[in-house]
Structure 1
Amino acid sequence: MSGGDPSAGRAAPEVAWFAALCDDDVEQLGVPAPHLLSSYEHCRDIVLAAADAGFDNVLLPSGYDLGIDGTVFAGALAPEVRDRMRMLLAVRCGESWPPQLARQLATLDRVLGGGLTINVISSDLPGAPIDSELRYRRTAEVMAILRRLLDGEPVSHHGETYDLEVAPPRIRTVSGRCPELYFGGHSEAARRVAAEHADVFLTWPDTEAAVAALVADMDRRAAEHGRSLRYGFRSHVIVRGTEAEARSAAAHLVDALDDVTGAAIRSRSLDSGSAGVRRQAELREGADDDGFAEEALWTGIGRARSGAGAAIVGDPDQVVAKLLRYRALGVDTFILSGYPHLAECELVGRYVLPALRAS
């Protein structure tokens, strides 16, 4: 039987917040905010605020020249959120030898009491860019090796990037299985890797029609491997008591931003030329004069941010309704953020989380 709501009968969605480990926190885009630069103390406060607000998970992003190291940070914070909230640790393929990374991740999962999830990033290494196709083939190898080792299985792998015969580390995750692997990307190579190796496929903000098309495409690709995927939606949020207040907050966020500064900020990211970033630019170019690509989807943030470049903007009912429409398209995980991250975390926790979970 077809035509029903894909969200019917599914478990409640996972709702995660974003810890700004990569110097990604401001009061106004384009305006330096030294007091909001990534530090252990500031990012700790964001994570603990998310745990107190009732978020299920928190994304710990990864960068090289920006911010602080996510793995070290996760180890430091894990005892404080254990049994309260999971951690979604971003790891960049190629930066660590996979067997050593597997032991590190298993140990971290133990410290978290089984609460680790993994965001796999297919990124050029600092100072050593490689061809995109080769980079994704390397990513596929890393994901396959990690899954076997974290499932407690020996690995005999003779690939293009890694050639190894190794037993699994003695230390195991709490479940004895590999934590869920979250992975995203819009390019053909990224979709191939996700279909074969990911558990949760991540996408950045887009129109409802584009998300529906993406889910259909990835469902087809995964089925070719005898697999199924869950879907995650990584977006900023600006929620206020009224729509007028939310739109005013959005306008204030970019009031001091000029195009030259915005372009300079976007170019700092290692993924600034990716297919996903190009899609976010297309979204901005097709928006109306106020920056809205469609109802409640505002693209102004992308003027000064590489990566997730749009926000869901509105009053609580509008924001929840928009998230539920994505939910009906197949999204199981929402990874949300807002500027500044502490203040917006509290607002989303108050206005959005209870209604989203009650729906």
Structure 2
Amino acid sequence: MTVEMSWFSALCDDDYEFLGVPDDELKSSWEHCRNIVLTADRYGFDNVLLPSGYALGIDNTAFAAGMAPLTSMRMLLAVRCGELIVPQLARQIATLDQMMDGRLTINIISSEMPGESLDSGPRYRRSTEVMHCLRELLDGRRVEFHGDFVDLEVEPPRISTVSGRSPLFYFGGLSPAARECAAAGADVFLMWPDTTDAVLEVKADMDARAEAHGRSLRYGWRSHVVVRETEDEARAAASRLLSKLDVEAGEEIRRKSLDSSSAGVANQAALRESADQEGYVERHLWTGVGRARSGAGAAIVGDPDQVLGKIRELTEAGIESFILSGYPHAAECDLFARHVLPHIDHGRLEFDPHPVDVT
């Protein structure tokens, strides 16, 4: 099976040599994050995730526009539903897609807005409405929609994407409301690290939910990776990442995230609790990363064959898109690209997206 292999650009101040220990040379900046993306592009990754934050890092939309003429890979732009009114968001996405010659993909984010307090159900309802109207406009159709969060009667923008269609929507979330939102409107359902058995359980549930909406989903895996020539070296490198971590500093990093109270983050915490004393929940799945960051909190750790074997195991479980990262991001990108990437049959994820079901 051909899978999509993507890397991560640390736009939200998430780059370290030692987790939880700030390093001025690794802080989010145009130059630093540009170099991460150019490294991934040079090695032939298919896509790169550009995360979105408010309190941390630099703006990902402006960054994507600046990177457009410098790269040949796709970019997965994180979009926080509610930050822009939908017609303006559609025009912005279409413009970026033209600048990238059709290489834009979208990561739909449902976190609270800065200064906002909104329960899970309404937040995901807002995301479903945004995805529906956004896709309609980007597909060139007039929108007449009167929902709880989006109230529009508007023609599509004159400017369109290169294909004349909406880019693919990637989406992640584990709460019941998040799962229903993804089933109704996403194209690629992203999972954070978990055991393979748990991945299969979530996939079965999501397949059933999507079918109930007359839709189908593809599946992605977002995690970190630590690959070295031997397993002992990889485990030592993972341990080194935590060797200077202050427990309170790690907790403060997690609290700063706008998704710190989500079901997905709670699941990552539970995964850490079930791990052994060294943080391994499976032989090659290490949960230590989650001690110093919110979001995806585990890493595939091992020698090249072991990391490749874990990726193939997940592929057999139905994962078709991998979004990986490591610390420091440019250095780990180099290691993964030299040791593992050449042995993976990979390419851009292509398929016709389904309409969003808002019924």
The residue identity in structure 2 corresponding to 1:157 is F
| Aligned equivalents of 1:106, 1:340: Cα separation in 2 | 33
Alpha-carbon deviation of 1:41? Answer: 0.4
Deviations 1:45-78 (A, max 9, x none): 0000000011000000000000000000000000
Alpha-carbon deviation of 1:119? Answer: 0.1
Q: Does 1:147 align with 2:149?
A: no
The residue identity in structure 1 corresponding to 2:64 is A
Q: Does 1:298 align with 2:286?
A: yes
| Aligned equivalents of 2:89, 2:345: Cα separation in 1 | 35
- State the partner residue of 1:6: none
The residue identity in structure 1 corresponding to 2:98 is R
> Equivalent of 1:239, from 227, 250, 275?
227
Query: Runs of at least 4 residues of structure 1 off by over 3 A?
Result: none
Tell me which moved more, 254-263 or 222-231.
254-263
- State the partner residue of 1:210: 198
The residue identity in structure 2 corresponding to 1:329 is A
Q: Does 1:227 align with 2:215?
A: yes
3-state SS of the aligned residue for 2:7?
Answer: strand
- State the partner residue of 1:340: 328
- State the partner residue of 2:276: 288
Q: Describe how 1:129-144 pairs up with structure 2 within 5 A.
A: 129-144=117-132
Q: Describe how 1:52-71 pairs up with structure 2 within 5 A.
A: 52-71=42-61
3-state SS of the aligned residue for 1:357?
Answer: coil
- Superposition RMSD in Å: 0.8
- State the partner residue of 2:12: 22
The residue identity in structure 2 corresponding to 1:17 is W
| Aligned equivalents of 2:36, 2:204: Cα separation in 1 | 35
Q: Describe how 1:5-44 pairs up with structure 2 within 5 A.
A: 10=1, 12-44=2-34
Deviations 1:175-226 (A, max 9, x none): 1110000001000000000001000000100000000111111011111111
3-state SS of the aligned residue for 2:320?
Answer: strand
> Equivalent of 1:159, from 117, 125, 147?
147
- State the partner residue of 1:317: 305
The residue identity in structure 2 corresponding to 1:37 is K
Q: Percent of counterpart pairs with the same letter? A: 63
Specify every segment of 5 or more residues in structure 1 that has no aligned partner in the other structure, as ranges.
1-9
| Aligned equivalents of 1:129, 1:288: Cα separation in 2 | 36
> Equivalent of 1:77, from 67, 75, 98?
67
Deviations 1:202-260 (A, max 9, x none): 01000000001111110111111111100010000000011011000000000111322
- State the partner residue of 2:92: 104
3-state SS of the aligned residue for 1:331?
Answer: coil
| Aligned equivalents of 2:337, 2:276: Cα separation in 1 | 29
| Aligned equivalents of 2:220, 2:145: Cα separation in 1 | 30
Tell me which moved more, 256-265 or 26-35.
256-265
| Aligned equivalents of 1:295, 1:251: Cα separation in 2 | 14
3-state SS of the aligned residue for 2:113?
Answer: coil
